[in-house]
Structure 1
């Protein structure tokens, strides 16, 4: 493949970037994911789908699956999973002074202060109908003038119980003013920061790369597969899951229902090289802009990784190996958690400042993941004869370390260019 035809070495086109922004911007807090799945991704799936493909829906959550061969349980099937749910804050209680005290969920309290948010409130008189309130900010202390010396110096931190939403309420009956809006305990609050292109080349920043980014990659992989004519011998399940942030519950339901033979989770990863204060912990040196990441470890399928790594090597797509140990930390664990026999791995892209309003990613890593997954799926389709050969290959080709060849010392000479 010529250099000019390697999208992962090019800047992401505006049209594709805008789709990525729209997917990530969809308000989809945990348990309320339909804005992303039904509002953005389902129409996109229906637009790109080939004849005969079908969008599967579920009763207990707003997750969806684009199925290339509905009903063909005899085919070798691969599920590619991104998760639509975002971590959220929730209203805890309303104070007499009009402060809306909130739970911070999976955010560090100190990263929230001063940032604009959206509050989504269900109409108390019309259950199922939601309203949105904008213009509020997250606060904890007010002015620096009221903070004690330890907080001013940074010696003391902010507790999650101190976090509240400031809606600029004033005048008489402040609590009643808030209550008249229909705001109630449990209402969802999310950060209001759509992604933008960054200062450095091919970067972007904003809130909720975790994991609208994985959903974007899943959707774009589906598009490339469709544009190439689909698959003949394997069934692809492009899944957008829910509930990942609270235990990966949505993907395990999908896997339990559809029982794929292989699972490729797509989720954000960490730029450990840039992460402050962890150098002495000696994490795998994953770095933004150096390519997609592939999980290796106890739970990751060596055979499935072989298809992905081969596609990367043959097409000069930059790859970084991510040590996952006994848990990928992603929906790649869905097969294990659902007790389904599936080969699994996880593909990602290093990001910075995860679970903040200023997460950072690199479009080249994202494009690399889209194309390597597409190429790996096409290689798997070519490797299957339509009669169960690929399933047999996975069953019969687990690595045999007792057959490992001896490796001797290679000497002290430098590796040749």
Structure 2
């Protein structure tokens, strides 16, 4: 029987899945994230926000922040950050035969071939007005009959310079046919694959889980906090940043602007157990369906991690430790990059096939991450209420390895042979 007291142990309800779908489906390529942030997240924030909470918007980018205590810079402040920007392709040039030559950005070229895309074009005659063109496919070789033997055998790959969008045009002046549509170099192209529930239990798949899922976790953790009575003693900032895919610039701006004391970056992670061809690299045994992930290493605050892990254990929320080395690779780095003194970490969800059209994840991992974030925020709020010294505790209670206790071999107890 399902344990209704543990939402992360059950299937995601249809209404919640639809919200996740709508966030992930919003066309928000780098630099044009408003469809997700202003079109989906901002209205949702306004719907769930108690009186006094406000949505902050910005001039130079489309990021949004739900602020529980606007103007209260005196309060201990925690920012939860997902990023709304999607990797995209861009028009590079238009060929005489009507081919739209493209840049592949952060996609592997071979993962793009044959897939349907949507091209978003700014109207040359009305700057600021955008049109969409559906029905194109990404190609590189044409038919297999035209490929050299090494391509046919798989010994040789596809170069990014070979990629183009096929619009099925024919007749005369095909380049002029494309140009007459107002398509120009720099126009953005996105994969056309909304998420849907998968074959495996509680699974789902589609494009752009990276990182609408982080924005979904930020939004839903805000709802859970609001429903539990709100933020009473600390300030919480639920953020959807921009520009992460080109260097985490958007979160850097948000952090520099709002100067939180703690950051929880939320992003997708890899299912290392299922990743093909990396067994000899001995990666952390992270697996889809086994819970949310928490980064260990890099700039990560062990004090913040300790509080997240304590909450996960208390609530029996499944957690997996991810070893991140020199860089979290996520918006969790924003404090350091933005020159702001804050305790930071990164949490996430293991997915497969990252940066492809068939990214896949488990809704239970998403729910585990969402509830872990919300419960951690409430625990921090309670700690500040109880002690009034949350900021001082983070300043003073850094782990001291010179005080580490000795560890002796303990055998296997009852399992000893």
Give the TM-score, by structure 2 length: 0.98
State the alpha-carbon separation in 2 of the partners of residues 177 and 337 from structure 1: 46
What do residues 87-135 of structure 1 show as CA deviations (whole Å, max 9, x unaligned)? 0000000000000000000000000000000000000000000000000
What do residues 267-310 of structure 1 show as CA deviations (whole Å, max 9, x unaligned)? 00000000000000001010000000000113110111111101
C-alpha RMSD over aligned residues: 1.2
Matches within 5 A, 1:10-409: 10-385=10-385, 388-409=388-409
2:271–2:288 CA contact under 8 A, matched in 1? yes
Deviation at 1:165, TM superposition (A): 0.2
Partner of 1:385: helix, strand, or coil?
helix
What do residues 18-38 of structure 1 show as CA deviations (whole Å, max 9, x unaligned)? 000000000000000000000
Deviation at 1:54, TM superposition (A): 0.6
Unaligned runs of 5+ in 1: none
State the alpha-carbon separation in 2 of the partners of residues 13 and 360 from structure 1: 18
State the alpha-carbon separation in 1 of the partners of residues 333 and 388 from structure 2: 24
Deviation at 1:387, TM superposition (A): 8.1
2:298–2:328 CA contact under 8 A, matched in 1? no
Deviation at 1:325, TM superposition (A): 1.7
2:221–2:370 CA contact under 8 A, matched in 1? yes
Partner of 1:336: helix, strand, or coil?
helix
State the alpha-carbon separation in 1 of the partners of residues 22 and 77 from structure 2: 29
Partner of 2:273: helix, strand, or coil?
coil
What do residues 235-256 of structure 1 show as CA deviations (whole Å, max 9, x unaligned)? 0000000000000000000000
Q: Please list every run of at least 4 consecutive aligned residues from structure 1 whose deviation after the TM superposition is greater than 3 angstroms.
A: 385-388, 412-416
2:48–2:226 CA contact under 8 A, matched in 1? yes
1:76–1:388 CA contact under 8 A, matched in 2? no
1:234–1:384 CA contact under 8 A, matched in 2? yes
State the alpha-carbon separation in 1 of the partners of residues 129 and 329 from structure 2: 34
State the alpha-carbon separation in 2 of the partners of residues 19 and 172 from structure 1: 45
State the alpha-carbon separation in 2 of the partners of residues 329 and 309 from structure 1: 21
Partner of 1:409: helix, strand, or coil?
coil
What do residues 155-184 of structure 1 show as CA deviations (whole Å, max 9, x unaligned)? 111000000000011100010000000000
Unaligned runs of 5+ in 2: none
Deviation at 1:350, TM superposition (A): 0.4
State the alpha-carbon separation in 2 of the partners of residues 158 and 273 from structure 1: 27
State the alpha-carbon separation in 1 of the partners of residues 349 and 47 from structure 2: 27
C-alpha distance 181-11 of structure 1, shift in aligned 2 (>3 A): same
1:210–1:355 CA contact under 8 A, matched in 2? yes
1:196–1:205 CA contact under 8 A, matched in 2? yes
Partner of 1:59: helix, strand, or coil?
coil
C-alpha distance 376-163 of structure 1, shift in aligned 2 (>3 A): same
Give the TM-score, by structure 1 length: 0.98
What do residues 64-91 of structure 1 show as CA deviations (whole Å, max 9, x unaligned)? 0000000000000000000000000000
Deviation at 1:415, TM superposition (A): 5.8
What do residues 11-55 of structure 1 show as CA deviations (whole Å, max 9, x unaligned)? 000000000000000000000000000000000000000100010
Deviation at 1:412, TM superposition (A): 3.9
State the alpha-carbon separation in 2 of the partners of residues 103 and 330 from structure 1: 23
